[in-house]
């Protein structure tokens, strides 16, 4: 691609919200999203009215869909920050076309994730007891509990990734403001841009802030999902108490995240006609990332099997139960969907085919959900005592709430697509001028 | 178009259409000993900071300090509150350092990022929604594909000197930015 | 304030004004009475203070609302302040907030179970065994514990019904008066009285009076195929028996004699553990019973083989002239073992033969006993009196033939339990029914009269050992109901009050001191029947030839939880897991694994069970250890009327009672979800329940588990559960429910795995499903010193107390359920819905005011009865002393008939619990989880021989 | 000048407004936080000082302060029961069968006696249902009634004197020394003629004598079961 084409593309990106190319496709998607969102509201209403009993959870499986979906969403929510922060530090310029909406995806995924721990509570209206505030009871949170860690981790992650995304979009908002002709767009972008005027002294500080945040965000991502893994690994439950968990979870998270990014990329590329910007090279790179993280996740599976093999009878029993037990479908489903289609990505031709990338991404997304199901349910439904083993069967309301949060995610994402520059135009331009210039 | 006679200028701008010439121009002016230089560019131009002699690391410092503060606060909070109402759990010690490190790390990150970005906004005097620069002819192109070198007006600002200096760089155009929006 | 803290100088010793303390300073204080009242609460009730005064303390209706408000039962959420309703008259029950105990009893099949009723603010909140009474020794069974809820059953009949429409007692009395006149005229011709087994001497006296007054009248007994214990018979003395052989007999099983037998077995087994003689139990039975699970040697044998085994046993011990049939090798091995056991314990052996077995078998057993001289191991009880009821079966033909003009059903439910009754009843001109509920029979009756519950009426009864128990009300009837004595009194036209009636029955109680003593002790001195000499052993009759074993044999037993159906309205019992199957809320057709394999059946498949010309349809449950071709069904379900709880649960098998002809089992359409609290019973290589072979053996020592030092504190509460004593009778489970306000959730939720029992009795088997080794294991909270649950809670809602309790603070819990996820024992229970706030006032009144009622969305679990610990701690503090050994008794421990559960301070080496834990059989459940549980178990001993040897 | 295309979207006033707005937002947030903190401890929530309508306007001031009835005359359970107990109608009538026999105010009392229906008092000192408070042990250790119920002898109409919130209980459980007094004087309302130091010294002696350990007194199970 040439610098000139990139410049045009950049201007065109900034003009996207004001001259939206695909109103119909957008409206249709939005329709779907909103109907799912309505389902979400209904499910939450029923839940609050009757209590967590509307789900399939029981003793021993006190954690069901809410925790499964929580981990799943949070995992997805790790790709955006990883892509933009890590690749930024590694100086991978091709990220510039992906990071903006990848980060947006992160925000919305983390939002969905963050809802679950609250909805999951027996007394959701008391969730703030997890925060250290000066209460009339004089009691504080229990800082040795993985849940308290998660509370801080998710909160921090949400704030940091929001800020990272926001300072990243400010220059584009400024540019869009200046290009906008309609008053309402000028005001919208103008307020968002905080009066950015591209002054060199600002740019200099901006770069410090942006790169430092990126540098901090990478370990943050790792820490957050490590702590999610401790939510399980800190308990004495066979199939959980494993030192493999933190890296295993982080890689799985990145994998699922990249899978979703791949899907969104293909979708946006098609819907908004971003072919000039999202070139086969980008698809190729995404494919490589997905493949790499996928293989690492596969290694995690293997490591877990080995760990179980010498970790004693209970661990082995759990492993056998996972592979052959009543929920074997979740284990095999995870293995097949995660790693079999993945192998297509060894070939460059496959990687650069949008449809292939989309399908592999979809498989991995479902597969990683199955993995979370497998982790939670197979371990709990038959843990130590034979007597306390009991089946777990999700109910309609389990599924509806899950679908509902997907609706919430889509709604937010579609609004973002409609209202804001989905691609970092100034970075594209920078790449064009400084990359293409020499 | 505002009348320079009636209006104290904010800055004098020279427009270039590629970053290399901007950097070169910046170097030139710097060597001529111009102090209050700045530029307007669509993206951070490589080498411009050196050329203009920017070396502001307050953001970095603030990030570090914010991180330290966050860390100390986090650990102190956990230890303090665990001792304020000592409740025994799981046969573990009240001050369980390994357990406390998680939240300590999270709040380190939070402190660092908040401090860094906060400093960015404060030191850059942002948000600033109304600014003379926005009135300048063509300056909005600096958010597109033009590159402007600016000599900011100061107490010892001489328009003609500055005008000559900029003209010597033969930019595409020279613009004056008035301090007050024109009538 | 104690002397060691003298007032500092300068403090005025006089307190400004002359305070006056209360009436007792003005009036002459009856010091003696006060102290007496304190030690013997029942005295304070002043039975001698006249009927009116006597009722006052039991006056519940007056302040029920207030009681509910005061009891603080509204869950954890903030509520607007309630109204407070103090009594109008000073409460003779003593100060509000202080519990009082009164001796009383409840009946099952006419056998009284001596109890102490705990009352708060004048209403009973818990029943305990009466330690003063030999038939209880402080223990209870599940039925006795659950009787409390029957008292408060919101569905109880509240007013007389005339042809189904509510009316007044006045009209009922008129009707009875009319009836009396008619009967007087006709000499009672065509009048029939139908009751269940009647043990109450006063009631029998009234019946005798009735029969004497109206010679034409007949008294029929409805026993639903069970023996009428009140007709006398042999009383086994398991405490004296060193070798017990049970053939199709279940002495430890549920029923009126469970507490008697289980307490005695516990004594024997504990003596054996202490080295005093053997305690062997040889059981041959068609379907596993808790006696079979407890047995040191069990054999699965078809009912038809019992006679054969008995003969072989006789031959083995050398009874002359017994024809024996060939045995299979397992049978042979069992007979040899049992025979040797009996021979070794010559004179101290006991043979029990099930009542379903023919008289010839009974006689042969008696012959063997006679041969071995086993006289001491049973006491023969005489019949209570000369009255002999006619069996209800004889009633139906008379009714059908129109020979019955008036039928009075007193506290029985023939329309349910007596197939064919409804049709026959159509021919009876006047049908009266007196009962607690408007049940199947009440619906057929012209007159239904609501009966008062025993816990709210004066009566008496015969305990298992034949001695008499006075029954005093714990509370005034809160419905417009009359006692059974009053109902008969109305018919006979005597208007005495029940207390007078009871005292008239017992001349030795005529003077008040004796009467009060009887009420205090809960037993009537000198009422024990003189043991008659055992009936001479008949000559061994020729045994009936064993019927062909290829066909199926049917065993019908009362339900272990709801008995004959009379208790089916009790949610605590409906949701109580049956000992062997852990089924709740319903019954099943129990088949052996082998039969299931043959017919391709799995749990829940519907089958049609046919015996001769009668058949029922129900879901299948596969029961390991059941004899190949035996089919077991339970009575007591499929109620069509009565309490709402009872209706539509399970299926009714009464039609099969006494059915003759071949038994067939056919697959029917569909299948049902059976609400079982346990899904996996097989204990593979795990050692949840551990065994040692003989008394001498000990378990290998556990390696030290944790990096952290064990918790040190005094007191340090702990529990020891001896699996060698536990018979899985479920008494502890219901006791826990009653003590801790544990809510019931219903069949659907149980099936989902959401039962709320804080204490569960796990049941495992190991080995070949057709003939496995069974074991029971009660599992409360382990109160781990290194509790994983506590690590998980983000809000400090479950923390550790200095005296070693794993606390659950309901009002702090936000319901993350992490504690449950982390709990290796899965003993935590979660309020998935709001289970409590919609309870009717009756059920609220039944709650224990000392235990918080849990709201929606919070976790709960066994607390070691922390309310009892706190009460003891406060009492001890007030007296400036440490809590004494044995001062804290948990509800489960108190109920346990075999004393398998011991609770106490593990920091004192001399405490009972420490002694137990110090023994070689002590082990931690899931030691590999490294939680340092405070609840530990003692391994089962396979052998019952005092001097080792036998391998099971 | 908005006519021509320019980047100047906002008039100068906007910056002022934005700064003011930010300031205002900060103030509001702070205000809400402090307000919430204060509300949770306000008399509106704790009901401190609130008088409730009673069927009979019973005056503790009169009966305790003027007449000099001891608390235990009516609240008989306080020494040996968890509940202090409310007096049965008979207790009222011991005096009021002679005094004020015709008073209209006392009509509900007489009606109660006649009808056997209890008087419907509105509870003033109500603890949440999940709190198990035991009067007897507090009295036995010499915690004066006044410590929780305040100067009841000065209340013409009874009101809650202290916020019955967990913190209130904890404060005393963590340092009981200054709240203890001779058992003989528990029902006494006027402050003891003691200096703070004397009180503490006495309290510490009592705690030593009865082995009262504040370190275990604030454990959850002391109050929550």
The token pair that represents A207 in the structure block: 């770069």
Whether B135 is in a domain gets the answer yes
Say yes or no: D188 and D155 in one domain: yes
* Interface contact A140, partner B, CB < 8 A: yes
User: With respect to CATH, is domain C553-676 assigned 2.40.40.20?
Assistant: yes
Q: Name B113's bridge partners.
A: none
Cβ <8 Å between B91 and C793:
no
Residue with the bigger pLDDT between B57 and C532: it is B57
C-beta separation of C939 from C690 below 8 A:
yes
The reported pLDDT for the residue numbered C622 is: 95
CA distances for C131 relative to A96, C41, C256, C864, angstroms: 83, 15, 17, 22
Show residues of chain C in contact with D204, CB under 8 Å.
none
C796 to chain A: nearest residue by CA?
A: A142
Mean pLDDT over each residue of chain C, to the nearest integer:
86
* Interface contact C932, partner B, CB < 8 A: yes
Strand order in the sheet with C901-905: C901-905, C717-722, C935-938, C922-923
Whether residue C707 is predicted with pLDDT greater than 60 in this model: the reply is yes
Whether residue C615 is predicted with pLDDT greater than 50 in this model: the reply is yes
C-beta separation of C115 from C106 below 8 A:
yes
SS (H, E, C) A102-158: HHHHHHHHHHHHHHHHHHCCCCHHHHHHHCCCCCCCCCCCCCCCHHHHHHHHHHHHH
* Interface contact C791, partner A, CB < 8 A: yes
Say yes or no: D110 and D146 in one domain: no
The reported pLDDT for the residue numbered C706 is: 65
CA distances for A99 relative to A87, A278, A286, A289, A357, angstroms: 9, 12, 12, 14, 18
Q: Which long-range contacts (CB under 8 A, 24 or more apart) does D57-62 make?
A: D57/D105, D57/D157, D58/D157, D58/D158, D59/D155, D59/D156, D59/D157, D60/D152, D60/D153, D60/D155, D60/D156, D60/D158, D61/D153, D61/D154, D61/D155, D61/D156, D62/D156
Say yes or no: B75 and B62 in one domain: yes
Whether B183 is in a domain gets the answer no
Instruction: Name which of D3, D6, D17 to mutate to probe chain B: the one with the most chain B Cβ atoms within 10 A of its Cβ.
Output: D6
Could you give the 3-state DSSP secondary structure of residue C736? helix
- Least confident window among C80-94, C126-140, D211-225: C80-94
Which residues numbered 55-94 in D keep a CB inside 8 Å of some CB on A? none
The reported pLDDT for the residue numbered C534 is: 62
Say yes or no: B73 and B119 in one domain: yes
Percent of chain C past pLDDT 90, that is, above it, reads 71
C-beta separation of C196 from C222 below 8 A:
yes
The reported pLDDT for the residue numbered C35 is: 35
Cβ <8 Å between C932 and B91:
yes
Minimum distance, in Å, between the CA of residue A100 and any CA atom of chain B: 16
D221 to chain B: nearest residue by CA?
A: B87
Q: Any residues with CB less than 8 A from the CB of C687 and at least 6 apart, and which?
A: none
Alpha-carbon distance of A89 to A104, in angstroms, equals 19
Q: φ, ψ for residue B88 (rounded to 5)?
A: -90, 130
ipTM exceeding cut-off 0.85 for this assembly: yes
Which of A265-279, C465-479, C567-581 is modeled with the greatest confidence? C567-581
Cβ <8 Å between C4 and D209:
yes
Alpha-carbon distance of A428 to A282, in angstroms, equals 13
D66 to chain C: nearest residue by CA?
A: C17
C-beta separation of C190 from C405 below 8 A:
yes
B88 to chain A: nearest residue by CA?
A: A142
Which of D182, D210, D216 faces C802 most closely, judged by CB atoms?
D216
Which of D7, D12, D218 faces B139 most closely, judged by CB atoms?
D7
Whether residue A333 is predicted with pLDDT greater than 80 in this model: the reply is yes
Cβ <8 Å between C708 and B87:
no
Whether D4 is in a domain gets the answer no
Alpha-carbon distance of C933 to C923, in angstroms, equals 10
Range of the domain at B90: 58-123
SS (H, E, C) C471-531: ECCCCCCCCCCECHHHHHHHHHCCCCCHHHHHHHHCHHHCCHHHHHHHHHHCCCCCCCCCC
Cβ <8 Å between B91 and C708:
yes
Whether residue A201 is predicted with pLDDT greater than 50 in this model: the reply is yes
Asked which of B77, B94, B123 is the last residue of a domain, the reply is B123
Alpha-carbon distance of C509 to C512, in angstroms, equals 7
Could you give the 3-state DSSP secondary structure of residue B118? helix
Minimum distance, in Å, between the CA of residue B129 and any CA atom of chain D: 6
Minimum distance, in Å, between the CA of residue C71 and any CA atom of chain B: 29
Asked which of D72, D99, D120 is the last residue of a domain, the reply is D120
Cβ <8 Å between B91 and C796:
no
Burial of residue A159 (CB within 10 Å: 0-12, 13-18, 19+) is middle
The reported pLDDT for the residue numbered C710 is: 77
Q: What CATH number labels C713-941?
A: 3.30.70.20
Confidence of residue A416 (pLDDT cuts 50, 70, 90): very high
Pick the closest to residue C846 from C135, C156, C54 (CA basis). Answer: C156
Whether B154 is in a domain gets the answer yes
**Using one digit for the tens of pLDDT, what is the confidence trace for C159-199?**
999 999 999 999 999 999 999 999 999 999 999 999 999 99
Question: For chain D, how many structural domains are there in total?
Answer: 3
Confidence of residue B156 (pLDDT cuts 50, 70, 90): confident
Show residues of chain D in contact with C891, CB under 8 Å.
none
Say yes or no: B30 and B80 in one domain: no
Q: Any residues with CB less than 8 A from the CB of C828 and at least 6 apart, and which?
A: A59, C781, C789, C808, C819, C820, C859, C860, C861
Whether residue C223 is predicted with pLDDT greater than 70 in this model: the reply is yes
Q: Any residues with CB less than 8 A from the CB of C370 and at least 6 apart, and which?
A: C537
Could you give the 3-state DSSP secondary structure of residue C117? strand
Say yes or no: D24 and D134 in one domain: no
Pick the closest to residue D131 from C868, C877, C812, C846 (CA basis). Answer: C812
Residue with the bigger pLDDT between C15 and C234: it is C234
Task: Work out how many CB contacts closer than 8 A connect B with C.
Answer: 34
Say yes or no: B135 and B46 in one domain: yes
- Least confident window among A274-283, C534-543, C665-674: C534-543
User: Where in chain C are the domains?
Assistant: 2-71, 161-229+386-505, 233-381, 553-676, 713-941
Say yes or no: B21 and B71 in one domain: no
Show residues of chain C in contact with A59, CB under 8 Å.
753-754, 820, 826, 828-830
Whether B10 is in a domain gets the answer yes
The reported pLDDT for the residue numbered A96 is: 87
Confidence of residue C51 (pLDDT cuts 50, 70, 90): very low
Alpha-carbon distance of D221 to B87, in angstroms, equals 12
Whether residue C39 is predicted with pLDDT greater than 90 in this model: the reply is no
Q: Which CATH architecture has domain C161-229+386-505?
A: 3-Layer(aba) Sandwich (3.40)
Say yes or no: B152 and B108 in one domain: no
Task: Report helix, strand and coil shares of chain A as percent, to nearest 5.
Answer: 80, 0, 20
Whether residue C70 is predicted with pLDDT greater than 70 in this model: the reply is no
Residue ranges of the alpha helices (H) in C880-936?
891-895, 912-918
* Interface contact D10, partner B, CB < 8 A: yes
Say yes or no: D138 and D182 in one domain: yes
Alpha-carbon distance of B88 to C255, in angstroms, equals 46
* Interface contact C282, partner A, CB < 8 A: no
Q: Domain holding B43: CATH number?
A: 3.30.70
Which of A11, A139, A205 faces B120 most closely, judged by CB atoms?
A205
Say yes or no: D163 and D97 in one domain: no
Say yes or no: D172 and D210 in one domain: yes
CA distances for C63 relative to A120, B176, C126, C464, C865, angstroms: 41, 92, 19, 36, 27
Say yes or no: D41 and D131 in one domain: no
**Using one digit for the tens of pLDDT, what is the confidence trace for C448-494?**
999 999 999 999 999 999 899 999 999 888 889 999 999 999 999 98
The reported pLDDT for the residue numbered C928 is: 87
Cβ <8 Å between B56 and A195:
no
Alpha-carbon distance of C766 to C770, in angstroms, equals 10
> In the complex, which subunits touch D with 3 or more CB pairs below 8 angstroms?
A, B, C
Residues, chain C: 952
CA distances for B96 relative to A142, B75, C299, angstroms: 11, 11, 56
Whether residue C32 is predicted with pLDDT greater than 70 in this model: the reply is no
Say yes or no: B62 and B21 in one domain: no
A129 to chain C: nearest residue by CA?
A: C795
Say yes or no: D82 and D145 in one domain: yes
The reported pLDDT for the residue numbered C54 is: 36
Whether residue C95 is predicted with pLDDT greater than 80 in this model: the reply is no
SS (H, E, C) A58-110: CCCCCCCHHHHHHHHHHHHCCHHHHHHHHHHHCCCHHHHHCHHHHHHHHHHHH
The reported pLDDT for the residue numbered A352 is: 92
> How many Cβ atoms are within 10 Å of C394's Cβ, its own excluded?
13
Alpha-carbon distance of A403 to A401, in angstroms, equals 5
Alpha-carbon distance of B137 to B181, in angstroms, equals 12
Report the relative pairing of strands C447-450 and C430-435 from DSSP bridges. parallel
Cβ <8 Å between B134 and D8:
yes
Confidence of residue D5 (pLDDT cuts 50, 70, 90): low
Cβ <8 Å between B91 and C788:
no
> Per the CATH hierarchy, to which homologous superfamily does domain A3-435 belong?
Formate dehydrogenase/DMSO reductase domain (1.20.1630.10)
**Using one digit for the tens of pLDDT, what is the confidence trace for D82-93?**
988 888 898 898
Confidence of residue A19 (pLDDT cuts 50, 70, 90): confident
Report the relative pairing of strands B173-178 and C280-285 from DSSP bridges. unpaired
Pick the closest to residue C103 from C123, C117, C89 (CA basis). Answer: C117
DSSP state of D66: I
Burial of residue C511 (CB within 10 Å: 0-12, 13-18, 19+) is exposed
Cβ <8 Å between A212 and B60:
yes
The token pair that represents C600 in the structure block: 């391709």
**Using one digit for the tens of pLDDT, what is the confidence trace for B111-153?**
999 999 999 999 999 899 988 888 887 888 888 888 999 998 8
Minimum distance, in Å, between the CA of residue B153 and any CA atom of chain A: 15
The reported pLDDT for the residue numbered C542 is: 54
Whether residue A223 is predicted with pLDDT greater than 80 in this model: the reply is yes
Whether D10 is in a domain gets the answer no
**Using one digit for the tens of pLDDT, what is the confidence trace for C406-418?**
999 999 999 999 9
Cβ <8 Å between D128 and C76:
yes
Say yes or no: D199 and D94 in one domain: no
CA distances for B104 relative to A149, A150, A152, A379, B112, angstroms: 9, 12, 9, 30, 12
Question: What's the CATH class of domain C233-381?
Answer: alpha beta
Q: Any residues with CB less than 8 A from the CB of C245 and at least 6 apart, and which?
A: C282, C283, C284, C313, C338, C341, C342, C349, C350, C351, C352
Question: For chain B, how many structural domains are there in total?
Answer: 2
Mean of pLDDT values over C240-245: 94
The reported pLDDT for the residue numbered C92 is: 55
Helical pair A354-373 and A65-76, crossing angle rounded to 10 deg: 140
Whether D8 is in a domain gets the answer no
Say yes or no: D184 and D82 in one domain: yes
Cβ <8 Å between B91 and C785:
yes
Range of the domain at D22: 15-45
The reported pLDDT for the residue numbered B178 is: 81
Q: φ, ψ for residue A381 (rounded to 5)?
A: -70, -15
* Interface contact B44, partner C, CB < 8 A: no
- State yes or no: cis peptide before C746, omega within 30 of 0: no
* Interface contact C793, partner B, CB < 8 A: yes
**Using one digit for the tens of pLDDT, what is the confidence trace for A372-402?**
999 999 999 998 999 999 999 999 999 999 9
Mean of pLDDT values over A403-409: 97
Show residues of chain C in contact with A314, CB under 8 Å.
928
Say yes or no: D211 and D183 in one domain: yes
* Interface contact B127, partner D, CB < 8 A: yes
**Using one digit for the tens of pLDDT, what is the confidence trace for A308-329?**
888 778 888 888 889 999 999 9
Q: φ, ψ for residue B33 (rounded to 5)?
A: 90, 15
* Interface contact C326, partner D, CB < 8 A: no
Which of C711, C796, C798 faces B91 most closely, judged by CB atoms?
C711
Whether residue C821 is predicted with pLDDT greater than 80 in this model: the reply is yes
Show residues of chain C in contact with B91, CB under 8 Å.
706, 708, 711, 785-787, 800, 932
The reported pLDDT for the residue numbered C666 is: 93
SS (H, E, C) C4-32: CCCCCCCCCCCCCCCCCCCHHHHCCCCHH
* Interface contact C792, partner A, CB < 8 A: yes
Residue with tokens 């301090």: B179
Alpha-carbon distance of A183 to C294, in angstroms, equals 87
């Amino acid at each position: 691609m040439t610098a000139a084409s990139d410049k045009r593309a950049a201007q065109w990106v900034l003009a996207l919200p004001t001259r939206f190319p695909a109103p119909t496709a957008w409206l249709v998607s939005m329709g779907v999203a909103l109907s799912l969102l309505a389902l979400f509201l209904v499910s939450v209403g029923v839940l609050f009215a009757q209590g967590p009993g509307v789900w399939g959870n029981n003793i021993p499986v006190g954690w069901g869909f809410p925790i499964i979906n929580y981990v799943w969403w949070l995992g997805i929510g790790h790709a955006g920050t990883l892509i933009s922060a890590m690749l930024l530090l590694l100086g991978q310029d091709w990220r510039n076309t992906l990071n903006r909406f990848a980060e947006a995806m992160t925000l919305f995924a983390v939002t969905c994730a963050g809802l679950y721990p609250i909805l999951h509570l027996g007394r959701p209206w008391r969730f703030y007891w997890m925060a250290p505030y000066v209460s009339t009871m004089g009691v504080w949170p229990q800082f040795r509990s993985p849940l308290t860690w998660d509370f801080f981790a998710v909160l921090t992650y949400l704030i940091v990734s929001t800020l990272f995304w926001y300072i990243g979009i400010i220059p584009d908002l400024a540019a869009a403001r200046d290009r906008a002709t309609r008053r309402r767009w000028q005001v919208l972008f103008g307020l968002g841009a905080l009066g950015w005027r591209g002054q060199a002294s600002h740019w200099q500080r901006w770069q410090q802030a942006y790169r430092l945040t990126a540098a901090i965000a990478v370990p943050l991502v790792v820490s957050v999902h490590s702590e999610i893994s401790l939510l399980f690994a800190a308990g004495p439950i066979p199939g959980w108490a494993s030192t493999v968990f933190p890296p295993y979870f982080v890689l799985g998270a990145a994998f699922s995240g990249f899978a979703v990014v791949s899907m969104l990329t293909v979708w946006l590329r098609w819907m908004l006609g971003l072919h000039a910007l999202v070139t086969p090279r980008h698809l190729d790179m995404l494919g490589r990332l997905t493949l790499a993280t996928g293989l690492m996740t596969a290694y995690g599976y293997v490591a877990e099997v080995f760990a179980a093999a010498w970790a004693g009878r209970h661990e082995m029993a759990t492993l056998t139960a996972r592979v052959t037990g009543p929920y074997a479908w979740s284990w095999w489903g995870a293995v097949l969907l995660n790693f079999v289609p993945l192998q297509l990505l060894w070939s460059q031709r496959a990687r650069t085919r949008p449809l292939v990338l989309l399908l592999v991404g979809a498989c991995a997304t479902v597969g990683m959900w199955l993995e979370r199901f497998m982790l939670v349910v197979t371990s709990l439904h038959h843990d130590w005592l034979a007597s306390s083993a009991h089946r777990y069967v999700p109910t309609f309301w389990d599924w509806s709430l899950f679908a509902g949060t997907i609706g919430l995610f889509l709604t937010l994402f579609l609004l973002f697509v409609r209202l804001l520059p989905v691609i970092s135009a100034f970075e594209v331009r920078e790449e064009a001028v400084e990359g293409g210039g020499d | 178009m505002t009348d320079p006679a009636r209006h104290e200028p904010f800055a004098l701008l020279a427009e270039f259409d590629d970053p290399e010439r901007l950097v070169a121009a910046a170097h030139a002016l710097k060597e001529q000993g111009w102090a209050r230089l700045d530029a307007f560019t669509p993206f951070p131009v490589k080498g411009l900071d050196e050329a203009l002699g920017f070396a502001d690391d307050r953001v970095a410092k603030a990030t570090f300090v914010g991180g330290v503060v966050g860390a100390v606060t986090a650990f102190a909070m956990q230890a303090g509150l665990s001792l304020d109402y000592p409740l025994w759990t799981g046969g573990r010690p009240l001050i369980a350092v390994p357990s406390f490190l998680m939240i300590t790390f999270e709040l380190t990150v939070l402190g660092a990022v908040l401090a860094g970005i906060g400093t960015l906004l404060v030191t850059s005097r942002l948000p600033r929604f109304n600014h003379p620069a926005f009135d300048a002819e063509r300056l909005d192109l600096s958010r597109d594909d033009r590159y402007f070198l600016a000599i900011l007006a100061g107490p010892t600002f001489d328009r003609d000197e500055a005008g000559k200096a900029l003209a010597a760089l033969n930019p595409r155009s020279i613009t004056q930015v008035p301090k007050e929006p024109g009538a | 304030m104690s002397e060691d803290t003298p007032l500092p100088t300068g403090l005025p010793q006089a307190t400004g004004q002359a305070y006056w303390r209360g009436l007792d300073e003005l009036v002459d204080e009856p010091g003696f009475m006060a102290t007496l009242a304190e030690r013997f609460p029942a005295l304070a009730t002043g039975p001698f203070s006249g009927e009116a005064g006597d009722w006052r303390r039991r006056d519940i209706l007056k302040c029920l609302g207030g009681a509910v408000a005061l009891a603080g039962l509204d869950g954890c959420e903030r509520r607007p302040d309630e109204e407070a309703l103090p009594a109008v008259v000073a409460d003779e029950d003593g100060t509000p907030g202080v519990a009082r105990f009164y001796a009383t009893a409840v009946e099952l099949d006419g056998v009284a179970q001596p109890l102490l009723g705990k009352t708060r603010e004048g209403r009973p909140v818990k029943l305990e065994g009466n330690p003063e009474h030999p038939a209880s020794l402080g223990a209870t069974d599940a039925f006795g514990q659950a009787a409390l809820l029957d008292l408060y059953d919101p569905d109880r009949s509240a007013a007389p019904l005339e042809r189904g429409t509510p009316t007044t007692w006045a009209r009922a009395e008129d009707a009875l008066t009319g009836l009396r006149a008619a009967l007087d005229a006709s000499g009672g011709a065509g009048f029939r009285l139908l009751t269940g087994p009647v043990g109450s001497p006063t009631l029998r006296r009234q019946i005798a009076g009735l029969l004497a007054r109206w010679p034409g009248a007949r008294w029929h007994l409805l026993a639903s195929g069970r023996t009428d214990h009140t007709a006398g018979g042999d009383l086994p003395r398991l405490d004296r028996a060193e070798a017990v052989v049970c053939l199709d007999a279940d002495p430890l099983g549920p029923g009126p004699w469970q507490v008697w037998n289980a307490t005695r077995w516990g004594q024997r087994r504990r003596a054996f553990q202490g080295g005093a003689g053997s305690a062997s139990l040889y059981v041959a039975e068609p379907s596993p019973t808790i006696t079979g699970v407890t047995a040191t040697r069990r054999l699965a044998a078809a009912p038809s083989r019992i006679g054969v085994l008995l003969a072989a046993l006789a031959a083995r011990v050398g009874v002359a002239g017994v024809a024996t049939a060939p045995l299979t090798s397992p049978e042979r091995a069992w007979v040899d073992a049992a025979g040797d056991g009996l021979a070794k314990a010559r004179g101290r052996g006991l043979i029990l033969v099930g009542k379903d077995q023919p008289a010839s078998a009974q006689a042969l057993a008696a012959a063997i006993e006679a041969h071995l001289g086993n006289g001491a191991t049973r006491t023969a009880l005489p019949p209570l009196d000369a009255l002999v009821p006619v069996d209800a079966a004889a009633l139906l033909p008379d009714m059908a033939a129109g020979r019955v003009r008036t039928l009075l059903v007193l506290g029985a439910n023939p329309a349910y339990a007596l197939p064919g009754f409804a049709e026959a009843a159509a021919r009876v001109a006047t049908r009266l029914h007196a009962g607690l509920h408007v049940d199947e029979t009440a619906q057929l009756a012209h007159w239904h009269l609501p009966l008062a519950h025993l816990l709210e009426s004066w009566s008496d009864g015969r305990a298992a050992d034949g001695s008499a128990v006075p029954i005093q009300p714990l509370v005034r009837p809160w419905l417009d109901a009359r006692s059974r004595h009053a109902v008969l009194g109305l018919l006979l036209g005597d208007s005495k009050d029940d207390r007078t009636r009871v005292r008239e029955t017992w001349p030795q109680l005529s003077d008040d001191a004796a009467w009060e003593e009887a009420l205090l002790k809960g037993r009537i001195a000198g009422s024990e029947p003189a043991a008659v000499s055992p009936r001479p052993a008949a000559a061994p009759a020729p045994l009936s030839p064993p019927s062909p074993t290829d066909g199926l044999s049917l065993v019908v037993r009362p339900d272990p939880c709801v008995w004959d159906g009379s208790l089916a309205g009790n949610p605590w019992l409906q949701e109580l897991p049956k000992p062997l199957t852990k089924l709740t809320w319903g019954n099943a057709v129990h088949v052996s694994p082998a039969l299931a394999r043959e017919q391709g059946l799995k749990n829940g498949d519907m089958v049609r069970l046919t015996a001769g010309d009668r058949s029922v349809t129900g879901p299948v449950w596969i029961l390991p250890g059941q004899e190949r071709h035996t089919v077991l069904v339970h009575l007591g379900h499929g109620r069509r009327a009565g309490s709402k709880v009872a209706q539509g649960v399970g299926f009714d098998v009464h039609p099969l009672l006494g059915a003759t002809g071949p038994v067939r089992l056919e697959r029917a359409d569909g299948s049902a979800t059976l609400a079982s609290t346990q899904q996996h019973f097989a204990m593979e290589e795990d050692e949840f329940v551990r065994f040692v072979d003989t008394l001498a053996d000990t378990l290998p020592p556990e390696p030290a588990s944790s990096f952290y030092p064990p918790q040190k504190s005094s007191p340090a509460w702990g529990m020891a559960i001896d699996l060698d004593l536990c018979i899985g009778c479920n008494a502890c489970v219901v006791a826990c429910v009653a003590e801790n306000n544990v809510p019931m959730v219903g069949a659907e939720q149980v099936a989902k795995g959401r039962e709320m029992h804080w204490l569960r009795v796990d049941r495992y088997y190991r080995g070949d499903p057709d003939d496995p080794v069974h074991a029971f294991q009660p599992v409360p909270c382990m109160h781990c010193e290194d509790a994983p649950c506590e690590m998980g809670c983000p809000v400090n809602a479950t923390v550790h107390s200095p005296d070693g309790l794993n606390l659950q603070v309901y009002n702090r819990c936000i319901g993350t359920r992490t504690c449950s996820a982390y709990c290796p024992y899965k003993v935590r229970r979660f309020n998935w819905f709001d289970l409590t706030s919609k309870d009717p006032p009756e059920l609220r009144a039944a709650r224990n005011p000392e235990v918080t009622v849990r709201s929606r969305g919070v976790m709960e679990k066994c607390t070691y009865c922390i309310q009892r610990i706190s009460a003891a701690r406060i009492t001890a503090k007030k007296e400036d002393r440490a809590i004494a050994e044995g001062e804290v008794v948990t509800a489960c421990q108190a109920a346990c008939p075999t004393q398998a559960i011991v609770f106490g301070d593990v920091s004192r080496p001399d405490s009972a619990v420490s002694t137990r834990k110090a023994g070689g059989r002590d082990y931690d459940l899931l030691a590999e989880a490294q939680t340092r549980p405070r609840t530990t178990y003692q391994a089962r001993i396979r052998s019952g021989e005092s001097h080792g040897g036998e391998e099971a | 000048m908005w006519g021509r295309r320019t980047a100047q979207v906002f008039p100068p006033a906007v910056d002022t407004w934005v700064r003011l707005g930010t300031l205002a937002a900060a103030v509001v947030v702070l205000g809400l936080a402090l307000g919430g903190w204060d509300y949770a401890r306000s008399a509106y929530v704790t009901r401190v000082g609130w008088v409730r309508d009673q069927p009979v306007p019973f005056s503790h001031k009169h009966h305790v302060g003027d007449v000099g009835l001891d608390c235990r005359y009516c609240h008989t359970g306080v020494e040996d029961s968890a509940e202090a107990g409310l007096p049965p109608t008979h207790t009222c009538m011991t005096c009021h069968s002679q005094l004020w026999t015709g008073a209209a105010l006392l009509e509900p009392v007489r009606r109660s006696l006649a009808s056997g229906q209890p008087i419907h008092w509105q509870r003033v000192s109500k603890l949440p249902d999940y709190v198990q408070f035991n009067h007897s042990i507090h009295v036995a250790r010499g915690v004066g009634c006044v410590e929780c119920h305040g100067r009841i002898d000065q209340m013409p109409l009874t009101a809650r004197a202290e916020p019955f919130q967990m913190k209130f209980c904890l404060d005393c459980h963590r340092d009981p020394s200054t709240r203890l007094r001779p058992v003989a004087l528990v029902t006494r309302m006027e402050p003891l003629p003691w200096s703070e130091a004397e009180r503490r010294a006495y309290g510490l002696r009592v705690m030593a004598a009865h082995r009262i350990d504040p370190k275990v007194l604030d454990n959850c199970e002391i109050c929550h079961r």
